Copies of this chain bind each other. A is one copy, B any other.
Amino acid sequence: MKVPRKLLSFLRKKDKFFIATHINPEADAIGSALALSMALETMGKETALFDKDTIPELYRFLPGHERFINSIPPLITLHSPLILLDCNSLKRAGLEGLSFRHSAVIDHHEPAPLCQPRYREHGRGGARPATEEDFGNIRWIEPKAAATGLMVFYLIKELGLKITSEIAINLYSAIAVDTGTFRYNNTTPEVLRVGAELIEAGASPACISNNLYETWSEGRFALLIMALNTLEIRDNIAITVVTKGMYKKTGTSAEDTENFVNFPRVLKDVKISAFFRETSDDYWKASLRSKELINVEQIAASFGGGGHKNAAGYTIKGTLESAKKSLIKAAKS
């Protein structure tokens, strides 16, 4: 992976950075941002870390997580160059409408379409050309990278900086989550070798996995069992649901549903696992996961959402039954 020279020079020249990542952050967003911030600070730079949403409890084992702020200090947009991580538009970071004099984007997501019709069906159209709406003076986007954390790993090495144990834990967690802890098809030899280097630098796979996957409350586990009891399989789509009533019964919240969508993936004949959680009356947040060949990003985009080929999501208004039906219809088209 080749780090753009312009990006290296930008990071070397500027003294202060405003590092932001996407709303609803997960380990790749948080870990990449923290690792880059820590590395830049060893160069004597100042950094501020921003996420519009609070860091979920689940990720508060990541070293430095407490440094995230969710409001923007006055004047920062004019004075500090922005680094946007794990997303490539101001909107995804909840920063729409603001302007930054200098900005860089580091991301492994495909740029979002400007409007629905730009999505080509059946893979026609090839690479999407840059447009004036593409955000960032410097855009380093590698859709083939397994995680933004992998890109930040190479960036830190290219800057000649040390991977400290805190950086290693953040990057290992970032890569682990985005590869399903080395189970998805983005698990390349390179991913495992970078993982090996990060263990040597101080990341503990067992400790990280324990924090990511084995810190559930009893209420959360009860919520999972309730969700699994709603399982319906229609047209090879496994649908599970969490309602507001279930949160009440188990003393849990939306945050506790993280990863629920992955459980029905174990079913052999299921092509898509869809998890609906009630956000407010008649509003549902849908999370989709697919196996190898099915592109759920396209389905999510047809409802105004986004994500990756095998992991995407969207919000929909209506009854639960209508939400299910519209998904099944979209998956067919």
Contact = CB atoms under 8 A, between A and B. Distances in A.
Interface of A: 180-185, 187-190, 192-193, 195-197, 199-200, 204-206, 209-210, 213-218, 221, 224-225, 228-229, 231, 233, 264-269, 291-292
28 contacts: A182-B195, A184-B205, A184-B209, A185-B204, A185-B206, A187-B199, A189-B195, A189-B196, A189-B197, A189-B200, A192-B193, A192-B196, A192-B199, A193-B193, A206-B292, A210-B291, A214-B265, A214-B266, A214-B267, A214-B291, A215-B266, A216-B267, A216-B268, A217-B268, A218-B233, A221-B266, A224-B228, A225-B229
Given A214-B265, A217-B268, A218-B233, A205 B193 contact: no
Contacts of A189: 195-197, 199-200
Count chain B CB atoms within 10 A of each CB in A187, A264, A265 and give the residue with the most.
Answer: A187
A167 to B, nearest CB: 16
Given A214-B265, A221-B231, A268-B215, A206 B192 contact: no
A199 B196 CA distance: 15
A177 to B, nearest CB: 12
Contacts of A193: 192-193, 196
A221 to B, nearest CB: 6
Given A185-B206, A214-B268, A225-B229, 7 more contacts: A182-B182, A189-B200, A192-B196, A214-B291, A216-B266, A225-B225, A225-B228
A209 to B, nearest CB: 4
In the A-B complex, list the 10 residue pairs whose CB atoms are closest, starting with the nearest: A185-B206, A189-B196, A183-B209, A187-B205, A192-B196, A192-B192, A216-B266, A215-B268, A182-B182, A192-B195
A204 B182 CA distance: 11
Nearest to A205: B187
A264 B221 contact: yes
Given A199-B189, A221-B264, A206 B229 contact: no
Contacts of A196: 189-190, 192-193, 196
